[in-house]
Structure 1
């Protein structure tokens, strides 16, 4: 499997993804990797319907994502991985999925999270996951839109106090 692009965006497939990031990714398939969404048939159907024309969408759990990545049948497939959180990315990378770079695009504010940019809010568990990804050698690319300048994400999260 050829990973063209990987992004964390809890909105998953939306305008910015369908009009800009899909074109940048140059992938034939979007794979949404999340156990919870995989178990929600209504949300899965809606995500597939939101895909841009000509792009296939699969919603899989983490176990299936690893299995498909390792299946020689898909070795020539180009994919755009979408995640809702950094924890799922860690799980894939720790199981041998070769994600070299992850774009952090959007993580909504919820109670207990700290807003670090206009589009990204984290809690201490998220920070731990991002630090883990950094230690695993995954480049962390904080850009909501393609034209945004890249920000040193680890430096950014270290500007805040985490309990």
Structure 2
């Protein structure tokens, strides 16, 4: 029996208004799982994200990537899980660790030195591209979509040409 993971989102802001409310409600999640080593050990970050989650009516948990991999398959059937990670590398680590992810939404990946624009909100470097293509080539539905119902850009080799 595998965990009921509705969607995984890559967003370098993790949980904020748009993710906490719009995406959570749109997919019908009742648990937001923030899989991020830093957030898992940062009470202030957790407090801010919990406030956002409260307004969506969903529960929220903060786990390191390793803890997520270890316990995800112990999730109860009633838990409709929305996983949020910070980077494509984090998503890849979860998949390589056996987390049953079927769909990945690429949200915000801000510009930084050495990154190129894919869409107005998604900037990637070689490492990001490798991880995104690894995920896409693993049979996972990976796409860029800013908010529910927005134009979807499937992630594949053509996207980065």
Same fold (TM over 0.5): yes
Give the corresponding residue for 1:4.
Answer: 6
Task: Tell me if structure 2 keeps the 8 A contact 1:9–1:106.
Answer: yes
Deviation at 1:53, TM superposition (A): 4.2
Distance 2:86 2:121 in 1: 13
Does the residue aligned with 2:131 lie in a helix, a strand or coil?
Answer: helix
Distance 2:40 2:138 in 1: 26
Does the residue aligned with 2:119 lie in a helix, a strand or coil?
Answer: coil
Give the corresponding residue for 2:152.
Answer: 150
Does the residue aligned with 2:106 lie in a helix, a strand or coil?
Answer: strand
RMSD after superposition: 1.5
Give the corresponding residue for 2:51.
Answer: 49
Task: Tell me if structure 2 keeps the 8 A contact 1:68–1:74.
Answer: no
Q: So what's the TM-score if we normalise by structure 2? A: 0.90
Give the corresponding residue for 1:121.
Answer: 123
Give matches, 1:1-163, under 5 Å.
Answer: 1-51=3-53, 52-71=55-74, 74-154=76-156, 155-157=158-160, 159=161
Q: So what's the TM-score if we normalise by structure 1? A: 0.89
Mark the runs of 5 or more structure 1 residues left unpaired by the alignment: none
